[in-house]
Amino acid sequence: MVKEKIYDFIDERVIVIYDRTFPLYIIRGEKNYLVDAGPTAKVPEFFKKIIHVLSENAGPGQSKIDALLLTHSHWDHIGGASYLQKRFDFEVMASERTVELLRKSKVIQLIDRMNQGFKALIKNRSDIHFTGLNQLGSLTGESEIPVDKGMELKVFPAPGHTKCSLAYLLTPQKILFPGDAAGLMEPDGTIRPLFFSSYSDYENSIRTLLDLKAEVMALPHNKPIKGKIKVKSFLEASLRKTREVRDTIQEYLAEGRNATQVSELIYEQEFPNISFMGPRNILIMNLESMVRSVLHELSDG
């Protein structure tokens, strides 16, 4: 029997921890950075894999995660963070808006409730909960995070999926960590647009990501995309698909359907066999946000 591969190197300093739906990324330098933390249902498995990766690859004094970089505040990117913070005692770095949200008890409860819903969906019986975070540090579009001599992470606002989304570019390697700002890529290559907070911001963010001319795009779902031409092709395809979904929403709205009805139709048309989005009610809620974003911009126009 072939042993399952736990991790691989994107670059000598960037490791991808394999998971079919939630790959995690470790950036190694004077400090070790983890990008996003996945959902609570996966976090015990992730913890074991992180320990394994660090034991095999970390240098002296580097057997831990020093900081967690959050791309945004959605439950499937942050659900495992409190579990990991208790074990590694790391700093959490995120956008100012994400930090503000994570200081609210109602937001913490909502993140945990969504994670518990996902656990029930996949029949996970663990008693792990998201309990909130401490050691929170805010990042802005001017932030630069030192990684090692001659290496840094540049921070870019990437709103549209959420208002709090950030993207990180590791230089000089030009490895991009976009969160969900670039859309969701399915295992078969299908792209699902995710403009949950603003259509126009989402399109502008994809344009920003294109301008970065990344050599690798470390996507938070399924797998990374390697090669400058492939990254560019994906982002261009994502932009086209985003516009197609917007146009479809506009057509349905012009027919007199309300936001909930359009959301159901978009679900049936664009998301019938999605590899991951959690409980259906959460997806419908998010799709309705997409519809209302288009509706809002139509009324403003």
Sign of dihedral through CA atoms 93, 51, 217, 248?
negative
User: Over the stretch 180-213, which tens digit does the pLDDT of each residue have?
Assistant: 999 998 888 889 999 999 999 999 999 999 999 9
Percentage of the chain lying above the pLDDT 70 cut? 93
User: Over the stretch 230-280, which tens digit does the pLDDT of each residue have?
Assistant: 999 999 999 999 999 999 999 999 999 999 999 999 888 877 666 565 667
Asked if residues 77 and 179 have their Cβ atoms less than 8 Å apart, the reply is: yes
28 within some domain: yes
User: Over the stretch 28-86, which tens digit does the pLDDT of each residue have?
Assistant: 988 899 999 999 999 999 999 999 999 887 665 567 899 999 999 999 999 999 999 99
281 within some domain: no
Q: What pLDDT, on a 0 to 100 scale, did the predictor assign at position 77?
A: 97
pLDDT class for 3, splitting at 50, 70, 90? low
Query: H or E segment at 251?
Result: helix 228-254
Q: What pLDDT, on a 0 to 100 scale, did the predictor assign at position 2?
A: 42
Q: What pLDDT, on a 0 to 100 scale, did the predictor assign at position 1?
A: 42
Taking only Cα atoms into account, the Rg of the chain, rounded to an integer number of angstroms, comes to: 19
* E strand residue ranges, 36-97: 67-69, 91-95
Q: For residue 95, what are the CA distances in angstroms to 100, 143, 271?
A: 9, 10, 29
260 within some domain: no
228 within some domain: yes
**177 in helix, strand or coil?**
strand
How many domains, the chain? 1
Q: What are the counts of helices (DSSP H) followed by strands (DSSP E) for the chain?
A: 9, 15
- Is the bond into 159 cis (omega within 30 degrees of 0)? no
69 within some domain: yes
- Domain range for 126 is 7-240
Q: Domain of 82: which CATH number?
A: 3.60.15.10
User: Over the stretch 127-168, which tens digit does the pLDDT of each residue have?
Assistant: 999 999 999 999 998 899 999 999 999 999 999 999 999 999
293 within some domain: no
pTM above 0.85, yes or no: yes
287 within some domain: no
Query: H or E segment at 175?
Result: strand 175-177
218 within some domain: yes
Asked if residues 39 and 76 have their Cβ atoms less than 8 Å apart, the reply is: yes
